[in-house]
Amino acid sequence: MIYSVDVEITAPVNDTEVTDRVVDAVTRLFPEADVTEQPGEIIATTHQLESLSQRLHEQEILDTARGQFQAGQDGDTFEFALKKQAAFQGVVNFAVGNPDELGDIHVRVRVTDPSVAEFVDYLAPPTKDGRPVTDDRD
């Protein structure tokens, strides 16, 4: 599938945190991202989410991911938040409810082509009995 997306990832860096560890948390889930450090936060950008999609498949959380992506959709974008501590371990853990004490990793995806729904289907395909209904990775 050919798609065009712009992804911005931001994460706060608190006074009690080491910036490199926050960068590691982001790059473990988004290894293809270009990271820029700014006072009090890091900002990363990428145009692909292959690694994230692979993690969602490995962790078997496609339905959860779809729900988060759809809940965060607004026009041609969708947003979601991830727990920083889990990301440092290379684990996708969606942040819901109150933000974590250290702040969450915030991800904003703008989809140019195809539609947001089609991209979400690609990133986290619908499942039946826990298995992707259509998965082009096999």
pLDDT attached to residue 93:
94
Select 4-105's CATH number: 3.30.1440.10, 3.40.50.970, 3.30.420.40, 3.40.190.10.
3.30.1440.10
pTM of the full predicted structure? 0.89
| CA quadruple 85, 88, 93, 95: dihedral sign | positive
pLDDT surpassing 70 at residue 99: no
Determine the average pLDDT of the residues in 52-63.
93
pLDDT attached to residue 3:
81
pLDDT surpassing 70 at residue 57: yes
pLDDT attached to residue 69:
95
Distance CA 17, CA 112 (A): 35
Phi, psi of 29 (to 5 degrees): -95, -25
